[in-house]
Structure 1
Amino acid sequence: MTSDPAAPAMRLASTGTILHGVSVGEVLGVSTLADARLIAGRSGLDRIVQRLNVMEVPDILAWVKPHELLLTTGYPLRNTPQSLDRLVADLDERGLAALAIKLGRYLDELPGEMVEQADRLGFPLILLPNDVGFDDILNQVLTDILNRQAGLLARAEEAHRALVQIVLAGGGMREVAAEVAGLLDVAVAALDAGGRVLATAGDAERVATLRATCQAAEGAVTAVGTVSAPAQERPRAAALATAQERHYAVVPVVAGGHHHGRIVAFSDSGTLTPSDVGILERAATVAALVVTKQEAVTAVESKYRADFLRDVLIGRGGTRVAERARAFGWDLERRVSVLVAEIDPDTEERSTQDRMLAAWQSAVRRYDPRGAVAGFSHEVVAVIGADVDTVRLAKDALAAVSDCTFSTGLSRVAGGADLLPGAYGQALKAARVGRQLHGAGAVAHFDELGVYRLLSLVNDTEELHAFVRETLGSLAGDGDVENADLRRTLQVLLETNLNVAETARRLHFHYNTLRYRIGKLERMLGNFTEDAHLRLNLTLALHVLRMRGI
């Protein structure tokens, strides 16, 4: 017969999961087993017993289940004592907790090989007293389990109600940590995914010890001797090889399939029990609710901020712009500059946009706490005080995002909210022109664009393209390789102020070859070597081509 109670005690298995039941060592403590004797497998006393079974049929191996305590008189084995050597390995392979046997009626003794094998495998072999019935063992063990279960369930229910009430009352990580510290009489720290401490609670001395340990091991600690953090963090536990002795426990905070951090507990008065770890896991679930709620609120606030800043930058902010900005902690009444950061092409949009916004928010807080920053669909915009080193701020934000690049444009100084739309346009053009001129990750100021600044102010791009076609003729297109090569020759000639020797050196041409090319260019474009106005037109047309796509 098999008994399968919902047993209360818990421990962490090697996979980090919690098993419900009582340990073999605890089973040996019940009164009916007071005279029982452990004859082998002492290292396995912490194996968990979840159910009990009686073996009195020969084919018992087909019916046993993991975490069982198997009771037997040896009746099925009386005619095949040679199978005893293999029995321990078979039971251990099936995950049984222990084997308890009565000797004297069907078996006089256990083979030495069986005892030795049990010691090697850490599989407890228990010698039962002859005057104790199996029904007495079953009843007492199950009663002990159920009585303890009632107490543990009541404690867990109390913790659950208290933690849920925190969420219902609008509490956060600080309140969760304080509640757990009170329930378990431990020091508690809530950490984010990067290991930064968000909140602590408990005795000040314990908290100081916990903080030092979290910093030393980057937040990875051992729970009852086994790491319960995500698998990718387990190597960090090497820094806390003696964590079990120092009584630490950690559980991950997971929501929506994402790891948001950890809750860590420390007790200097006694090792944290598996039941304590269970309460920590409930706290981690509540912490995950707190995190998701905060993320939802932050997302709504971020959208509201972005919508308001966008309205201001396109001239639709309405009245009371400065007052509404102050509600966000922004100061738009002073002299400010606008910065626009656009993700460079061929970059993964959504996740990169979030990281880029976080980098800019961090940089703006560091350089100008009163500055405004918001993320739009393809860009991040910041409004910064005129006295801030905007170039350095932009470079710091760029350096904080390692897996992508974005080009940044800086505007002129604007003297108030009414001038922000014009400054926004300048910054946007500076970002796009800077990328065209200097490549991905460029940081360009509107006033440093030179002639490109003037060209970018021409809103009629078709007129610009018509000017290019009229000025360069067949050299305007990229379809013909020879024409593209001639255009490159023209560009270098103009850059060197018609210095034939220098142009030949840069292009690695023979002097006579270059003279031939100049003649061919003049037949196509006109006598630009003598006509300064034509050279200006040609130079502008080449600049417009370089700004293609703006």
Structure 2
Amino acid sequence: MRMQEVLRLPELAAGRLLAGAGGLHREVRGVTVIDAPDGIAFIRGGEFVLSTLFLYRRAREQLALVEELVRRGGAGLGIKLERFVDALEPEVTAAADALAFPIYRVPDALAWVDIINPVLTELLGRKKGELERCWTIQRRFISLALEGSSLEMLAQELAGMIRRSLAVVNNLTGVTAAVDFPELAPEPWRAGVGETARPLPGRPNLLRISAPDPRWRRIVCRIGGDGEVDGWIIVMDQGDPLLTEELVAIEQAAVAVALEVHKARAVHHMRRSVQGDFLHHLLAGDFESEAAVTASARAVGWQIAPAYVGVVAQVDRLPAEPPPGTCRVGWWILDLLAREGLPPGCIAELGYQDRPVALVAVSPDAARDYADRQVAEQISGLIARLGQAHPGLKLSAGVGRPRVGVLTVRESYREAVAALELAPVLPGGGPVALFRDLGLYRLVGQPDHPEIEQFIHDTLGPILRADRQHRGELAHTLGVFLDHGGSYRETAKALHVHHNTVRYRLARAQLLGGFDLGSARERFNLQLAVRLWRASRLYSAAK
């Protein structure tokens, strides 16, 4: 019940509004009398306050009363004049007008009880009707949720109830259902620059965001509980304040949306589980024929293409604002990649070690024309855009060579893993590494090249044993020395040690290994052995 409705009651019709017409929309939730020194301390908000001003005869006292009532959320002030105060001073009425706080002169002949009784009777009657409407609202949204209503239907229903423009955001899918919603900042549920967010009293899931521009003031309702945010309802807060039943409608809509999101999440997780099982079987080589692969893929919602390029990604650093604690990081990254735009026809799920895996469909002709480079460019663009959208997020990826025939896609996947793991040993590499560009490192870890391990052992064996026994850095120092063209000073700078330390370590390495750093042939073998040793360590760690 608003102040303007209170003042239209028959018992008050003979009175007169003295000031604060701009606040007649204030909601009235009770009536009280202040004629005691400590009366104002019991104002809880929403009261129509009655007073003879016996304690507030001076203008400054009346000003203080008005300001304190506004601060405490009072709905309005009803006064009797010509008893203790003949008239309000102009500065008092001016302050009430500025604060949009109604001051009403009640009829002199009325006792306080003649005002309190009809107002409370009206309030109780309206409260009964409000509770009935709230119950109807609750039943309506529960019914919509059980019927499986879409986000769009729920948004339309809520907008019709509260007559406001709004948007409903599903965090699981990133889908937004809007009804006449203006174009705001990318995340309108957060307070922007110059805006403030405060919880509504008694409603922990509701925030009022105040903005310098009245057009952007809004009510935000969090969807979800237990620390997990399933989404948001954003309602533009223009015009009269929302009534209690309208706030209830927002909260009940949030419950219905949460049920819809939870249902969608359960389906989503189940689909991911079966798709993940299919991908693991495919990459493990468990299928005996392409027909078996095609049938299994169709059962989990995927269509098989003639050729694929394997891609494996990993998270090198989480963003400044990490995903929710209950969210699986790999799935979170997959969702981000999907929203940003994975290539069409892509099979994407989590692989081993929770790394996102994408099998990117390419045409058989493209598979013969370096399609992996085109895929790498697409993935590089995705990673760059995600880095901009989520500051601090660092992703890297490996890309295998194209393979025609779904049974051979596991080879492209293995190449993508090798490219991802061996990328750190390549100079000047970006976030995406192609197996095609690994050069000699492609041999590392391959079962049909057993001589690699023996070559590393023959060339560096004594040095590596000494490093293990004494926790030394002879092999690492040798590698950095060779990487820097045999410069002692550049090596010392790279290692942050004195150049004499570098000379000592290299002399020790030469003594143990029995090689001559002055020989071009031996330096070539040493550099090759050191790089293969570095790569083999990374590859072994990946396995």
Q: TM-score range by the shorter chain?
A: 0.7 to 0.9
Q: Which amino acid aligns with 1:371?
A: C
Task: Measure, in 1, the Cα distance between the counterparts of 2:436 and 2:399.
Answer: 9
Q: Match of 2:396?
A: 407
Mapped contact 1:335–1:416 kept (Cα < 8 A): yes
Q: Which runs of 5+ in 2 are unaligned?
A: 200-204, 493-501
Instruction: Give the alignment partner of residue 254 of structure 1, picking from 201, 210, 223.
Output: 223
Q: Which residue of 1 aligns with 2:15?
A: 36
Is the CA contact 2:380–2:431 (under 8 Å) kept in the aligned structure 1?
A: no
The verdict on how the C-alpha distance between 1:233 and 1:466 changes in structure 2, with shifts beyond 3 A counting, is farther
Match of 2:335 among 343, 358, 365: 358
Q: Which residue of 2 aligns with 1:51?
A: 30
Q: Deviations over 1:127-179 (max 9, x none)?
A: 22122232232221122223333443333332322221111112220221333
Change (3 A) 1:489 1:216: closer
Tell me, yes or no, if the aligned pair for 1:177 and 1:189 is still in contact at 8 Å.
yes
1:270-285 mapped onto 2 (5 Å cutoff): 274=243, 275-276=245-246, 278-285=248-255
2:202 alignment counterpart: none
1:68 aligned onto 2:68: no
Aligned CA distance change for structure 1 residues 321 and 27 (closer, same or farther; 3 Å): same
- Which ranges of structure 1 fall in alignment gaps of 5 or more residues? 1-21, 201-206, 494-501
Q: Is the 8 A contact 1:251 1:280 kept in 2?
A: no
- CA gap of 1:134–1:400, structure 2 versus 1, over 3 A, is same
- Distance in 2 (alpha carbons) for counterparts of 1:214 and 1:316: 50
The alignment partner of 1:400 has SS state of: helix
Q: From 130, 134, 148, give the equivalent of 1:170.
A: 148
For this pair of structures, how many residues does the alignment match? 491
1:301 is matched with which residue? 271
How far off its partner does 1:546 sit?
Answer: 2.5
Secondary structure class of the residue paired with 2:168? strand
Change (3 A) 1:44 1:157: same
Q: TM-score, normalised by structure 1?
A: 0.72
> Matches of 2:356 and 2:429 in 1, distance apart?
16
1:446-461 superposed matches below 5 A: 446-458=435-447
Q: Report the CA distance between 1:331 and its aligned residue.
A: 3.3
CA distance in 2, matches of 1:271, 1:149: 19
Q: How does 1:98-113 map to 2 (within 5 A)?
A: 98-104=76-82, 106-107=83-84, 109-110=86-87, 112=89
Distance 1:266 1:174, change over 3 A: farther
Alpha-carbon shift at residue 382 of structure 1 (Å): 0.9
- Cα distance in structure 1, aligned partners of 2:207 and 2:113: 47
- Residue 28 of structure 1 and its aligned partner are, at CA, apart by 1.0
| 2: CA distance, partners of 1:252 / 1:54 | 35
- How far is the alpha carbon of 1:306 from its aligned partner? 1.6
Shift in alpha-carbon separation, 1:367–1:541, aligned structure 2, 3 A? same
- CA deviation string 1:19-54 (max 9, x = no partner): xxx332221111100011222344443333222123
Q: Secondary structure at the match of 1:158?
A: helix
One-letter identity of the residue aligned with 1:416: G
3-state SS of 2:335 partner: helix
What secondary structure sits across from 2:538 in the alignment? Answer: coil
Superposed counterparts of 1:315-330, under 5 Å: 315-317=285-287, 320-330=292-302
**Are residues 1:430 and 2:387 paired?**
no
**Number of the residue aligned with 2:498:** none
Report the counterpart of residue 336 of structure 1 in structure 2.
308
The CA distance in 2 between the partners of 1:79 and 1:372, in whole Å, is: 79
Structure 2 residue 382 is the aligned partner of structure 1 residue 397: yes
What code does the residue aligned with 2:3 have? V
Q: Work out which of the residue numbers 351, 354, 374 in structure 1 matches 2:349.
A: 374
Q: Distance in 1 between matches of 2:220 and 2:479?
A: 65
1:419 to 408, 413, 417: 408
Q: What pairs up with 1:436-515 in 2 under 5 angstroms?
A: 436-438=425-427, 442-458=431-447, 467-476=455-464, 479=471, 485=477, 488-489=480-481
Larger Rg: 1
Rounded Cα–Cα distance in structure 2 between residues aligned with 1:174 and 1:328: 27
Preserved CA contact (<8 Å) 1:263 1:284: no
Q: Give the match's secondary structure for 1:142.
A: helix
Question: Paired residue for 2:106, among 108, 128, 131?
Answer: 128
Counterpart-to-counterpart distance in 2, 1:332 and 1:546: 37
RMSD: 4.7
Partner in structure 2 of residue 146 of structure 1: 124
Distance 1:422 1:181 in 2: 53
Task: Give the distance between the partners of 2:303 and 2:265, measured in 1 at CA.
Answer: 25
Q: Deviations over 1:168-200 (max 9, x none)?
A: 112220221333355467776534569976335
Measure, in 1, the Cα distance between the counterparts of 2:254 and 2:460: 68
Q: Determine if contact 1:163/1:286 at 8 Å carries over to the other structure.
A: yes
1:81-100 CA-partner distances (Å, limit 9, x unpaired)? 99667544554554433332
For 2:297, give the aligned amino acid: A
Cα distance, 1:379 vs structure 2: 0.8
Change in CA separation of 1:263 and 1:490 when aligned onto 2, cut-off 3 Å: closer
SS at match of 1:381: strand
Q: Counterpart of 1:496?
A: none
Counterpart of 1:299, as a letter, is H
Deviation of 1:425 after TM superposition, in Å, equals: 1.9
SS in 1 for 2:176: strand
Q: In 1, distance between residues paired with 2:488 and 2:71?
A: 82
The verdict on how the C-alpha distance between 1:109 and 1:507 changes in structure 2, with shifts beyond 3 A counting, is closer
Identity %: 27
Alpha-carbon deviations, 1:67-113, whole Å to 9, x = none? Answer: 32232456x64999996675445545544333323345x42524537
Q: Contact 2:189–2:234 (CA<8 Å) still a contact in 1?
A: no
Partner secondary structure for residue 403 of structure 2: coil
For residues 243 and 344 of structure 1, what CA distance do their matches in structure 2 show? 38
